[in-house]
Amino acid sequence: EAGVVQSPRYKIIEKKQPVAFWCNPISGHNTLYWYRQNLGQGPELLIRYENEEAVDDSQLPKDRFSAERLKGVDSTLKIQPAELGDSAVYLCASQYTSGIEQYFGPGTRLTVT
């Protein structure tokens, strides 16, 4: 079974530029999470989806971040415009809604210069 797929793996952009990350969860997983992991810290939730509905986006900085999960499968996370402080690893994870394990993708390492 394929795991959670994320792309790109690395991205370097200049500040004020837009950037987008893509996540393909494990097949059949209804729940999808986007996390941000700053250097030396644990992951912090940005948004949680149940199917195509964003059920928890309270920690998503909505002035510059947006996310979507069309058809309840793949998801994209966008930042526009990026700031220096957005440099981090962006992790996607998925799980069955009734399951107890979440499975992480490899992450996208974003560097904003």
Q: Least CB distance from residue 19 to other proteins, whole Å?
A: 19
Residue with smaller CB distance to other proteins, 12 or 14:
12
What is the enclosing helix (H) or strand (E) of 45? strand 44-50
State the maximum Cα–Cα separation within the chain, in Å, rounded to a whole number: 41
> Do 19 and 110 form a contact (C-beta atoms < 8 A)?
yes
Residues 51-70 that bind other proteins (CB under 8 A): 55-56
Q: Does 45 bind other proteins (CB under 8 A)?
A: yes
Residues 13-42 that bind other proteins (CB under 8 A): 33, 40-42
End-to-end CA distance of the chain: 37
Single-letter amino acid code for the residue at 33: Y
Residues 67-96 that bind other proteins (CB under 8 A): 91
Site residues (vs other proteins, CB under 8 A): 33, 40-45, 48, 55-56, 91, 100-107
